[in-house]
Amino acid sequence: MVLIVLLVLVVVGQGAFLGVLQHSLDQANQRAAADRAAAGRRADSLESRVKALEQRSAQSLDPTAVSSAVLPSVFLIDAVQATGTAFAFGKAPTGGGTDLLTAFHVVSDLYNGGGRQVALTHNNERFTADIVRVDQAQDVALLHSTETFPRLAAVSKAVPTGSPVMVVGAPLGLSQSVTTGVVSAVRNDVPGEGGKTFIQFSAPINPGNSGGPVVDAQKQVVGIATLKAPDAEGIGLAVPIEVACQSFSIC
């Protein structure tokens, strides 16, 4: 009888112990699940903060980094009767060499007079290029050089108003000059331009900047500098780069 009682007590004790153990395990599992959920929330929060920082960084233009990347692709162009700026751009031509873009009005006198060859200058080195195609209505011209230059790429999406930009060119013949500003507006109400779309920007430009690239913080071309408001500063206009892409199929 005593043995039976002892066995019952042992069984009851084991059951109670197993119950306590199971309760402890359940609590431990609950704490672990809560910890995993909290860790997941922290990871999501950290990822959101990292993405926000990346977006802010992408919107911030580093003039030194951008100019270092862009300047090797930009040239002073001498079209005999006029000077301006040209830049290497687009896909690698199938026949070799490099395509370049400039504003048509930079080469218009030469082109309309039958001339097709221009001179390019970069860091006191001189090259030649041929005018191969023009779109007079849009004020863009396509050049080709047998030399190989580093090429710039077109912006991958529309640049919103307020985005920082840099203009690279040769104002008054001062090659390799950079100025910075922001996209002021995208407009199609420029007097005398027949409703054509322009990117307005605040970076200062002067004669000689025409044909130069307007680039964003990612070193991509937004537009081609073409006009400035007379008797005003900080009102420059660029032909959107997609116009040249469509005209010449080089993007």
Distance CA 214, CA 243 (A): 14
Residue among 18, 241, 51 at smallest CA distance from 142: 241
Active site residue 105: yes
The structure tokens listed for 14 are: 């084991």
Active site residue 67: no
Distance CA 197, CA 190 (A): 8
Active site residue 231: no
Q: For tokens 């006029």, name the residue.
A: 82
Choosing from 67, 73, 99, 105, the catalytic residue is 105
**Spatial contact of 43 and 192, defined as CB atoms under 8 Å apart:** no
The structure tokens listed for 158 are: 């529309």
**Spatial contact of 186 and 198, defined as CB atoms under 8 Å apart:** yes
Q: In terms of DSSP bridges, do strands 236-240 and 198-201 run parallel, antiparallel, or are they unpaired? A: antiparallel
The structure tokens listed for 228 are: 């400035």
Choosing from 184, 202, 210, 247, the catalytic residue is 210
Choosing from 139, 145, 177, 184, the catalytic residue is 139
Distance CA 240, CA 221 (A): 9
Active-site amino acid positions:
105, 139, 210
